[in-house]
Amino acid sequence: MQKKPSEWISIADLMSGVMAVVMLLLVISVLQNTYAEVKHKQEMESSQKNENQKIESLLEDIQSSVTAQGAGNLIDFNLEQSKITLKDNIFARGSACITPEAQMAFKNIEDKINRFLQQSSSAKIFVEGHTDNIPVSKPVTDYQRFCTVYDDNYTLSAARAREARKLLVGQLDSSIAKRIIVAGYGDSQPIKGISPEDDANRRVEVRLSLK
């Protein structure tokens, strides 16, 4: 019996070989993408860790300076959240005016804040004012006495954040100083776990970021 031509068998073998090569290339591509994603994630985690360490080191330095001069009652430190909280007693009662004691405390940390902003173009500081939920009883219009005018908690919180920013900025160049961002939240963000009326809600939070 005459043998069948082998052309179709050869083509089938060739197609099988091509498919095998395509599958191999696809697997290699998937592995390369997976490796690139894992490597990128590791680099991001390493970068984030380094940024956190820089901020934590700065906050520890500031905390030591504040504690050494006996001003620890004015500022709380949260290293995990990269945050400083300026307590209510950093301001005169019902005012945006910084007390002389607080001005002295900030004088010793101004250079440290400046270096933080100058070391990286991505460094930013967010200064956020907060109050309790007790309404302002009557408008305050004596700017000379209160360093601001206000008729509600939002205006007062923004004014306090603005005055805190002035202390942080110091002699910074305007191109760098614009990376200190101010916001006033009034009584909209009370501290979790305490009454909205609690005095502790009257605060200015200063968050540092290298993102």
Indicate whether 62 belongs to any domain: yes
Model confidence pTM above 0.85: no
pLDDT digits (tens, 9 = 90+) for 102-159: 888 887 788 888 888 888 888 999 999 999 999 999 999 999 999 999 999 999 999 9
Indicate whether 108 belongs to any domain: yes
Indicate whether 106 belongs to any domain: yes
Angle ∠(55,77,197) on CA atoms, nearest 5: 135
pLDDT digits (tens, 9 = 90+) for 22-56: 888 888 888 888 777 777 676 666 666 788 888 89
Indicate whether 4 belongs to any domain: no
Indicate whether 76 belongs to any domain: yes
Indicate whether 140 belongs to any domain: yes
pLDDT digits (tens, 9 = 90+) for 189-200: 999 999 999 999
Which helix (H) or strand (E) segment holds residue 204: the answer is strand 203-209
CATH number, position 99: 3.30.1330.60
Cα four-point dihedral sign 143, 146, 150, 156: positive
Residue 76's Cα: distance from chain center in Å?
A: 16
- The Cα–Cα gap between 70 and 187 comes to 30
Number of compact structural domains in the chain: 1
List, in sequence order, the alpha helices (H) in the chain.
7-68, 100-107, 110-118, 143-146, 153-169, 174-177
Indicate whether 38 belongs to any domain: no
Its domain, for residue 90, covers 43-209
Enumerate residues 6+ apart whose C-beta is below 8 A from 73. Answer: 87, 89
Beta bridge partners of 56: none
Spatial strand order of the sheet with 75-78 comes to: 75-78, 83-86, 203-209, 124-130, 180-184
Indicate whether 148 belongs to any domain: yes
